[in-house]
Amino acid sequence: MNNEIIHGDSLEVMRSMPNCSIDLICTDPPYFLPATHYNVRSGSFRSLGDLSILEHFFRDVFEQAARVLKPTGFLYSFCDGQSYPVFYATAFAFFRKLRPLVWDKLTSINGYSWRHQHELILFAECSESPAVKTGDGDVLRARAVPIKEREHLAQKPTELLCRLISKVAAPGSVVLDPFCGSGSVCVAAKMCGCSYIGIDREEAYVAVSERRAAEDCGRFTNSTQQQQCKMPLDTMEV
């Protein structure tokens, strides 16, 4: 099942996968908040209980992630400041250690007052994950994919994903992205010498991922890859 993009529901596909078969999960799930959920309740006040829809879904996601990961595996999951508390709370029961990484996009976009310039990444270690001895700062600086170049609204820069993957996954490892979108994780995994499994419920994005995994990997030379892999995460600009 390696080097494959699967059209289907992420949870259903993950439930069909064998235990302890994946070395790394790197993904960017739909972490939107059900912000209007509280409006259907009596009264006009919100509470943390309004996040229950998100909580139940991601508890299932992280439970399956922990099951398919090897005891030595790792997980990266992109999120934001609003969804991180739910991600942390639901993942806490399934992983040995959790911590947030900050992706600084270098330029601010969208909104007013305090404009959007960063995303968070939940980094999780399994029960026997080895220590990664080469330390980098937990603020990762990398430019976002220009909007006009994106094939998915939330497309992540491949160079950044290569750095995340190469940090914890040796060549030959199996990388899973249960919400693969435009396939950037799959492309990055292949560039790092890893096998990939992508899952997406949208048939159009499955086609995009398959094409990019087949074509985009040739855009970077081995020397370029090696130079990127040696650059500290907190100073890399792409």
Q: Is residue 127 exposed (0-12), middle (13-18) or buried (19+ Cβ within 10 Å)?
A: middle
Domains contained in the chain, CATH given: 4-230 (3.40.50.150)
What pLDDT, in 10s, does the model give residues 157-201? 999 999 999 999 999 999 999 999 999 999 999 999 999 999 999
Q: Name every residue whose Cβ is closer than 8 Å to that of residue 18 and which is 6 or more positions away in sequence.
A: 68
Q: Where residue 212 falls among pLDDT bands split at 50, 70, 90? A: very high
C-alpha to C-alpha distance for 73 and 95, rounded to whole angstroms = 10
DSSP track, 142-200: -PPPPGGG-SSTTPPPHHHHHHHHHHH--TT-EEEETT-TT-HHHHHHHHTT-EEEEEE
Q: What is the DSSP letter of 105?
A: E
Give the model's pLDDT for residue 49: 63
Considering only residues 186 and 147, tell me which one the structure prediction assigns the higher pLDDT: 186
Percentage of residues in the chain with pLDDT exceeding 90? Answer: 63
What pLDDT, in 10s, does the model give residues 35-63? 444 445 555 566 666 666 778 899 999 99
Percentage of residues in the chain with pLDDT exceeding 70? Answer: 81
pTM of model > 0.75: yes
Cβ atoms of 62 and 94 within 8 Å: the answer is yes
